[in-house]
């Protein structure tokens, strides 16, 4: 028995020694042996024998990009160089030469086709003061654009081009967006061509940024860069949720904080411009102020549930309806207002010369008044457009 165990031990030792020598000097011999690891089979799609199938696309945003991208256009603008004030003086030209050799100023941006009739939504600052505007479709077609109307207070503009068979984006419900929703930003950053970036909705209802008079921005971390202005912010279905407008940046490039005008705002502006050629807003003639916790306590209201009126224009719509300094406005036409931006937007949405109900708190008493708003005038005259 002892002799058998000795023989067995010697055999195992020799076998291990042989394996060691082979693994050191001829490792490829082992790849042909039964010591190979088990291979994972590749699942083949029907009709694609021998070719690996594509990865599951359940998390892909390709469908949204495919649906929305054709309706996003590039916008190129140009402006003639400004002449020197004395350029027509022959003595000035004799001593200083011809000063009219400046180069035209060029600009670029993006836009979104919102109607088969050729209407395009973009930012006002994209086409502001431009002498010529050219729209380039994703399929390569080009056309000169006509400015139908502008709204500087929301930084929106409506263009029109005369082309047939234009792709149209589907307008979505931006009011249904929630923080964390996936979105795509589509535009023409830096003039490199159409680009799609993805991210999420970082915040909603951003105001007091000092960008526009009326602010209610969607904030996103989808990369937005110069040239993206006027482009589309779309959801996972490819539906338009906003018009990309601005970025927060210290370097001029994207830092993951971009802002878009909601489709709800853009739709109302577009409808008014197409219908009337301009946007008409309500005005009541008051000077509002946000309620601080101290003011809210002194007026016996909950902070964030109203706006205090600190000044009333004599003979203005609010004064004629009986509004007084110190009143706290809590609702406009049934909609709650929690800050000055919300009050401004709610009043602007009112139809001039049509009475609207305002809910107030006055010396701890609740009351309602009917105000017939007037027509809001632009803070500065609109420049002519071509």
Instruction: Note the pTM of the prediction, 2 decimals.
Output: 0.71
Q: Which of 69, 74, 125, 327 is catalytic?
A: 125
The Cα-based distances of 337 to 208, 360, 366 in angstroms read 15, 11, 15
Is 125 marked active-site? Answer: yes
Among 231, 259, 276, give the residue marking a domain's end: 276
Task: Provide the number of structural domains found in the chain.
Answer: 3
Segment 250-259 shows an average pLDDT of 75
| pLDDT exceeds 90 at position 225 | no
Residue at 15 is within a domain: no
Between residues 70 and 5, the one the model is more confident about = 70
The Cα-based distances of 289 to 74, 292, 295, 332, 378 in angstroms read 41, 9, 10, 16, 21
From 58-62, 91-95, 118-122, 190-194, the region with the lowest mean pLDDT: 91-95
Q: Which of 74, 110, 174, 229 is catalytic?
A: 229
d(CA 314, CA 151): 28
| pLDDT exceeds 80 at position 319 | yes
234, 184 in Cβ contact below 8 A?
A: yes
Using DSSP's 3-state secondary structure scheme, residue 297 falls into: helix
pLDDT classification of 382: cutoffs 50, 70, 90: very low
Residue at 57 is within a domain: no
From 107-121, 354-368, 370-384, the region with the lowest mean pLDDT: 370-384
Same domain flag for 289 and 307: yes
110-134 confidence digits (pLDDT tens): 999 999 999 999 999 999 888 899 9
Q: What is the pLDDT of residue 47?
A: 42
Q: Which of 155, 235, 290, 359 is catalytic?
A: 155
Segment of 87-91, 204-208, 319-323, 336-340 carrying the highest mean pLDDT: 319-323
Residue at 384 is within a domain: no
Output 200-203 pairs: Cβ under 8 A, ≥24 positions apart: 201/177, 202/257, 203/179
Is 155 marked active-site? Answer: yes
Q: What is the pLDDT of residue 94?
A: 53
pLDDT classification of 46: cutoffs 50, 70, 90: very low
Same domain flag for 303 and 287: yes
d(CA 313, CA 315): 6
| pLDDT exceeds 80 at position 233 | yes
Sign of CA dihedral 177, 240, 385, 125: positive
Same domain flag for 306 and 345: yes
In the chain, the percentage of residues whose pLDDT exceeds 70 is: 77
Between residues 175 and 87, the one the model is more confident about = 175
Q: What is the pLDDT of residue 34?
A: 43
Residue at 45 is within a domain: no
| pLDDT exceeds 80 at position 11 | no
**Which residue range(s) make up the domain with 369?**
282-375
| pLDDT exceeds 90 at position 183 | yes
Q: What is the pLDDT of residue 24?
A: 66
Same domain flag for 218 and 133: no
CATH for 182:
2.40.10.10
Among 115, 134, 160, give the residue marking a domain's end: 160
Is 276 marked active-site? Answer: no
Half-sphere exposure (CA, 13 Å, Cβ side) for 33?
9
The mean pLDDT of the chain is: 81
End-to-end, the C-alpha distance of the chain in Å comes to 109
pLDDT classification of 42: cutoffs 50, 70, 90: very low
| pLDDT exceeds 50 at position 39 | no
């Amino acid at each position: 028995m002892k002799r058998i165990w000795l023989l067995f031990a010697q055999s195992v030792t020799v076998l291990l020694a042989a394996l060691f020598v082979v693994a050191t000097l001829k490792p490829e011999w082992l790849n042909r042996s039964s010591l190979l690891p088990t291979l994972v089979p590749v699942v083949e799609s029907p009709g694609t024998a021998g070719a690996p199938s594509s990865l599951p696309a359940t998390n892909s945003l390709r469908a949204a990009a495919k649906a929305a991208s054709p309706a996003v256009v590039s916008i190129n603008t140009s402006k003639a160089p400004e002449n020197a004030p004395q350029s027509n003086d022959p003595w000035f030209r004799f001593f200083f030469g011809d000063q009219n050799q400046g180069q035209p100023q060029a600009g670029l941006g993006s836009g979104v086709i919102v109607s088969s009739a050729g209407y395009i939504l973009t930012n006002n600052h994209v086409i502001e003061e431009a002498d010529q505007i050219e729209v380039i479709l994703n399929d390569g077609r080009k056309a000169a654009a006509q400015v139908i109307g502008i709204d500087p207070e929301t930084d929106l503009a409506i263009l029109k081009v005369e082309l047939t068979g234009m792709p149209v984006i589907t307008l979505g419900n931006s009011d249904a967006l929630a923080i964390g929703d996936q979105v795509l930003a589509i535009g023409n950053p830096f003039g490199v061509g159409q680009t799609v970036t993805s991210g999420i909705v970082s915040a909603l209802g951003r105001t007091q940024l000092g960008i526009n008079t009326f602010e209610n921005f969607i904030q996103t971390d989808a990369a937005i860069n110069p040239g993206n202005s006027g482009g589309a912010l779309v959801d996972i279905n490819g539906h338009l949720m906003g018009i990309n407008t601005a970025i927060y940046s210290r370097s001029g490039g994207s830092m993951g904080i971009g802002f878009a005008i909601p489709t709800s705002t853009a739709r109302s502006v577009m409808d008014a411009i197409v219908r009337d050629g301009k946007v008409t807003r309500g005005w009541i003639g008051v000077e509002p102020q946000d309620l601080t916790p101290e003011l809210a306590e002194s007026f016996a209201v909950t902070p964030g549930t109203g706006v205090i009126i600190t000044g009333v224009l004599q003979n203005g719509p609010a004064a004629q309806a009986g509004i007084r300094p110190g009143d706290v406005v809590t609702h406009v036409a049934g909609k709650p207002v929690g800050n000055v931006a919300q009050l401004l937007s709610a009043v602007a949405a009112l139809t001039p010369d049509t009475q609207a109900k305002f809910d107030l708190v006055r010396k701890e008493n609740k009351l309602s008044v009917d105000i017939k708003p007037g027509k809001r005038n632009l803070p500065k005259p609109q420049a002519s457009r071509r």
